[in-house]
Amino acid sequence: MRQADLTRTDLRQAVLLGADLRTECQEANLQGALCDDTTRFLEEFDPTAAGIYVLKAGADLQGVNLSGFNLAGIDLSGANLSGANLAEADLWGANLEDADLTGANLIKANLWGANLTRANLTDADLTDASLSAADLTGTMLEDEELGIEE
């Protein structure tokens, strides 16, 4: 989309992972869109100021809706995902080390092989989540919060 003019385009909640958007995005509605470190914008463009969620280590993704997304292998270490909706998300092999998942919805999420070292899962809903081969070393988690599938 490098040559495209996206002025005033509605891209709300668009998945822009890895997209090349080094084009005019002035006045485009990008609220709730998703990008990552591989998404490219014009040098002067600030994705966070445009309302885009940047999926990366240390990101503030509090309350974001990532339900059903394929996030396999993603690095969200140290990210704030408190109150996030990750129901049915594929987080296979994801790095969630030191992530704050307080109150997150992880119903039926695939966390197979995920690194949850020192993650905070207080009040998270793990009903029917798959945690096979996940690293839960130092994870803050209470037994009564478990409703997980091995």
Answer yes or no: do 37 and 93 share one domain: no
Whole-number average pLDDT of the chain: 91
Domain boundary among 55, 74, 101: 55
State whether 149 and 92 are in the same domain. Answer: yes
Q: Is 95 exposed, middle or buried (0-12, 13-18, 19+ CB in 10 A)?
A: buried
Above pLDDT 70, what percent of the chain?
92
Among 2-11, 25-34, 93-102, 137-146, whose mean pLDDT is lowest?
137-146
Specify the pTM.
Answer: 0.85
109 and 134, same domain (yes or no): yes
Spatial separation of the C-alpha atoms in residues 124 and 137, rounded to whole Å:
17
Residue 38 CA to residue 136 CA, distance in Å, equals 28
How many C-alpha atoms does 46 have within 13 Å on its Cβ side?
4
| Same-domain pairing of 81 and 128 | yes
Higher pLDDT, 15 or 135: 135
Domain co-membership, 64 together with 109: yes
Q: Within this chain, do residues 84 and 42 fall inside the same structural domain, yes or no?
A: no
Instruction: Indicate if 5 and 49 belong to the same structural domain.
Output: yes
Q: Is the pLDDT of residue 36 over 50?
A: yes
Q: How many independent structural domains does the chain possess?
A: 2
Output the pLDDT for position 146: 58
Tokens 């690293």 correspond to: 135
pLDDT in tens, 114-145: 999 999 999 999 999 999 999 999 999 864 35
Domain range for 6: 1-55
Domain CATH number, residue 92: 2.160.20.80
| Residue 23 per-residue DSSP state | S
pLDDT class of 2 with cuts at 50, 70, 90: low
Indicate whether 77 and 150 sit together in one domain.
yes
Q: Label residue 10 by pLDDT band (50, 70, 90).
A: very high
Which residue reads 């209470």 in tokens? 142
Spatial contact of 124 and 106, defined as CB atoms under 8 Å apart = yes
Please tell me whether residues 90 and 22 are part of one structural domain: no
Is the model's pLDDT at 85 over the cut of 80?
A: yes
Domain final residue, candidates 37, 55, 73:
55
Are 51 and 112 part of one and the same domain? no
Residues 28 and 97 in one domain: no
Confidence grade of residue 64 (pLDDT, cut at 50, 70, 90): very high
Would you say 98 and 77 are in contact if contact means Cβ atoms under 8 Å apart?
Answer: yes
Give the contacts of 32 (CB within 8 A, at least 6 positions apart).
12, 13, 51, 52, 53, 64, 65
Of 55, 78, 98, the domain-final residue? 55
Task: Read off the tokens for 139.
Answer: 């994870």
In this structure, the answer to whether residues 79 and 140 fall within a common structural domain is yes
Listing DSSP states for 39-79 in one string gives -EE-TT--TTTTT-EEESTT-B-TT-B-TT-B-TT-B-TT-
| Lowest-confidence segment of 26-40, 66-80, 91-105 by average pLDDT | 26-40
- Report how far residue 129's alpha carbon sits from residue 109's, in angstroms, rounded to the nearest whole number: 5
